Amino acid sequence: MHREDWKNLPLGKETHYESTYNPQLLHPIPRSVSRAQLGLDGQALPFSGADEWWGFELSWLNPKGVPRVAVARFRFAASSPSMIESKSFKLYLNSLNQTEFASADAVRATLEKDLSAAAGSDVAVSLFDVEDPQLAVHTPEGICVDQLDIEARSYQPDAGLLKLAEGGNAVEETLYSHLLRSNCPVTGQPDWATVSIAYRGPALDRASLLAYIISFREHQDFHEHCVERIYCDLQQLADFKQLTVCARYTRRGGLDINPLRTSTGEIDFPGRFARQ
């Protein structure tokens, strides 16, 4: 479904790749566009959180004209007025390729300045050497629900699939699935993710949670708002004492997007997974 709001986005259009620094390439998207569908427009958010982007195609020139490369981590607050359209982000990063910077710190400062201006809120940027051990792949924590023997026939988000486990016992656990798939609302391209749900409260029926996650398979929305929909649907199901939803999406164009929404106020992202 193509939205009138997004008709000017660079996604899905023939692209000219600039290689000289141009912050005007960044295209912000108001978060309110999709949040209105969840009844969150114009009111206090029921969660805190952040969007953690990783950039694997970052390069610039040093003062002697020699290329430098790094891996970048970008942290956008969930409370920022806008997020950044992903293709415009890629084009912006490419515009640094033939631009000289005095140091990696100068690159980081430029990225923070430009991205903060586009998002309408402070963005934190960290640069890593490509051999930094912090870039190692991790295994998800918790219990994987993907091997449950269920039948799934719903491929649009259906909160009615969610159920609590019989007995009403209170638990504290983390459940995760590699089967989350959603689709870009502009191009229709599939987006793949591992999603984890950490909670404290009445136990979820795990089979129903898996069916619900699968129901996003034909849904068209941005990564950030898929996670917000999952969070809101779970909070509607029960009064969880703590709830954190985090999805680590696979990379596209050298960028991956990892939204986290939580009731705890703690922004604690898991490490990268194998598909990233």
Question: Residue 203 corresponds to which tokens in the numbers above?
Answer: 């136990």
Closest among 185, 252, 192 to 220, alpha carbons compared: 185
The residue to which tokens 């106020």 are assigned: 265
User: The tokens of 172 are what?
Assistant: 């504290």
* CA-closest candidate to residue 208, choices 159, 257, 251: 159
C-alpha neighbours within 13 Å on the C-beta side of residue 172 = 2
Let me know: does 51 contact 224? Beta carbons within 8 Å.
yes
Contact between residue 124 and residue 74 where contact means Cβ atoms under 8 Å apart: yes
Nearest-5° Cα angle at 86, 83 to 90: 125
In angstroms, rounded to a whole number, what is the distance separating the alpha carbons of residues 160 and 234? 10
CA-CA distance, 27 to 10, in Å (whole number)? 8
Q: Taking CA 23 as the corner, what is the angle to CA 228 and CA 191, rounded to the nearest 5 degrees?
A: 35
Where in the sequence numbering do the catalytic residues fall? Answer: 184, 191
